[in-house]
A and B are shown apart, each in its own frame.
Chain A
Amino acid sequence: MSKKIPRHDFEPKIMAFVCKWCTYSGADLAGTSRMDYSPNVRMVRLPCSGRIDPQFLIKTFEQGVDGVIVSGCHPGDCHYNEGNYYARRRNLAFRQLLDFQGIDLGRLEFSWISAAEAIKWTKVIDAFTDRVRALGPHKQYHELIDPYDHYLEAA
C-alpha cells in the first residue's frame, strides 16, 4: 500500500474555496475512492461559487497562503441556476485587478469541477500545487504582512 511520497524543499499552502454541490462532492468522491492528491490543499466549503467573495481571497493572501483555488459547478449546472455565472464575471475582473496590483496570476486558479469529476479534481490540485511550488513562497505578500520580519531574521 505504501507509496513513495516525494520530498520537496518547499510545501506551498493552498486554499480552496469550493461550492458544496459540485466541487466539494467531487473532492469527497476523490476521498472515498481513495485517490491520491496533493495534501497541501485546505478546503472551505461554501453554498455556491457565487458566494465566494473576492474578499475571502484577499484575506487568505493576508494570512500567508501561497495559492488560491476557486471552484464551482459547470455553467448550467449551478444548484441555484445562475450563481456560477456571476462568479465567472466577478473572478474575471478580480484576476485582472490582482494582475494590475502585481500579484502573479499563477497563484490563482478557477475551475469548474462537477460532483462526478473526482479525477479532474485530483489533477487540478496536483497541477496547481506544482505550479505554486515552482513559484515559491508568496514572499511579496508575506513581507507586506510583517515588514519588520526580516529584521528579526537577521538578528
Chain B
Amino acid sequence: MIEAIRTQARNLLENKEVDVIIGYAEGSDSTRTTPVFIRKPEEVSRLIFDPRCINSLPLYLNKRHEYPQKGWKRTGIIAKGCDIRAITQLIAENQLTREEVYIIGVPCDGVVSHFSKWDGRLHDGNQATKCAECDVHTPTDCDFFPGERPEVDRSAPYKVSAPQVLNLMGLNTDKRFDYWRQEFDRCFKCYACREVCPHCSCNICITDRTQPNWVDQAAHTKGVFAWHITRAMHLVGRCTGCGECTRACPMDIQVDLFNQRLKDVVQESFGYKSGYSQDEKPPLITYKTDDSEDFIQ
C-alpha cells in the first residue's frame, strides 16, 4: 500500500500537480511518527503509514496555519478517513476549497491512542477511542486511493459517545462538577488542546485577548473552567472527533469528553453530523423555525 502511495506522491510532485505532500515519517524513536512536508520527489521514500500515524494533518490546512503558502497551487495530503472528515468540515467552514487540496486516502484499521502506548501492534488496550466507533475505515472522498475502494453505507448515526461520557452522564450533577474540578485542577493552560485542533480557526483566540478580557488568563480553576466551557462551546457542531486535544494534553485531561457529549446533543437536537457534508451549514449558524424549545419558558 505504502509503495502505491509513494509512487503516486512522486508522480504528483514531478508533474507539479501539487507543491507539497503532507504526510507521516518516522519520528525520533521507534514508537513515534512525525508530520512531514515533502517538497522534492526524491524524498517520497520518507513517507510511511501505520497505526502510529496519529496526528490529524488537516490541522495544517486550516487558514490559521497559512498553508498553502503564497504561490502554492495545491496541497497534497495523506489522510485517514477521520482526517478526510476534518477536511470536509474545513471546506464546509470555508477554510479551504476542495480544489486546493489533493487527498491521498489511506485505508486505516485504527491508530494508537498515544505514542507511549505503542508496543509493536494495535490491540484493544491501546487503540484510540475514536477508532472503536469509526465508520470511515475506508475513506469517503479522496482523489487517490491505493487499490480498490469498496462501497460503504455511512448513513447510520454516529455511535453514542465513549463510555466515559456515559459514565459521567450517569453521575449526579454535583459529582460531575467535582470530577471536572479535580481534572481541571491539573490544567496549566498550555493551550496544546487548542493548538492541535483542526477546527480552532481563530488567528487570535478569545483567551489570548486581553481587551476585553473574556477568559481569565491565569491558570486558576476559575480561568480554567471558563477556558474549557468557551472552547467546547466554540466547537459545537464543528468538532469532528479526532481526539487530538486529549492526546496533546500533557496533563492527561480528557478534554474531548465535552466535545463528544456535544456531538451527541447536536445529533439528537439538530440532526447534524460534522464532517460528512461540504455544503451543509454547521448547526449553530443556521436554524429551523421548529427547533426544539422544551427548555424555554
Interface residues of A (CB under 8 A from B): 54-55, 58-59, 62, 75-76, 82, 85-86, 88-105, 109-112, 124, 140-141, 144-145, 147
Contacts of A96 in B (CB 8 A): 261-262, 265
Residue of A102, A112, A147 ringed by the most chain B CB atoms within 10 A: A102
> Would you call B131 an interface residue if the criterion is a C-beta within 8 Å of the partner chain's C-beta atoms?
no
Residue of B222, B261, B284, B285 ringed by the most chain A CB atoms within 10 A: B222
Which stretch from B43-51, B65-73, B226-234 is at the chain A interface?
Answer: B226-234
CB-based contact A82/B287 at 8 Å: yes
In the complex, the chain B residue whose C-beta lies closest to that of A106 is: B173
CB-based contact A58/B284 at 8 Å: no
> Would you call B266 an interface residue if the criterion is a C-beta within 8 Å of the partner chain's C-beta atoms?
yes
> Would you call B155 an interface residue if the criterion is a C-beta within 8 Å of the partner chain's C-beta atoms?
no
CB-based contact A101/B262 at 8 Å: no
How many residues in B have their beta carbons less than 8 Å from beta carbons of A?
46
> Would you call B178 an interface residue if the criterion is a C-beta within 8 Å of the partner chain's C-beta atoms?
yes
CB-based contact B289/A102 at 8 Å: no
> Would you call B141 an interface residue if the criterion is a C-beta within 8 Å of the partner chain's C-beta atoms?
no
CB-based contact A85/B177 at 8 Å: no
CB-based contact A101/B291 at 8 Å: no
CB-based contact A93/B174 at 8 Å: no
A-B contact pairs, 15 of them (CB 8 A): A54-B230, A85-B289, A86-B285, A86-B287, A89-B269, A92-B291, A95-B295, A96-B261, A97-B236, A97-B258, A100-B257, A101-B177, A102-B178, A102-B179, A147-B221
> Would you call B40 an interface residue if the criterion is a C-beta within 8 Å of the partner chain's C-beta atoms?
no
CB-based contact B226/A86 at 8 Å: no
Residue among A62, A93, A111, A144 making CB contact with B297, cutoff 8 Å: A111
Instruction: Across the A-B interface, give the 4 residue pairs with the lowest CB-CB distance, nearest first.
Output: A102-B177, A102-B176, A85-B287, A111-B297
Contacts of B160 in A (CB 8 A): none
Contacts of B284 in A (CB 8 A): 86, 89-90, 93
CB-based contact A101/B225 at 8 Å: yes
Other than the known A86-B287, A105-B295, A144-B221, what 19 A-B pairs have Cβ atoms closer than 8 Å? A55-B206, A58-B229, A85-B291, A89-B269, A92-B265, A92-B291, A96-B262, A97-B232, A97-B258, A101-B229, A102-B178, A102-B179, A102-B180, A110-B297, A140-B181, A141-B225, A144-B181, A144-B222, A144-B225
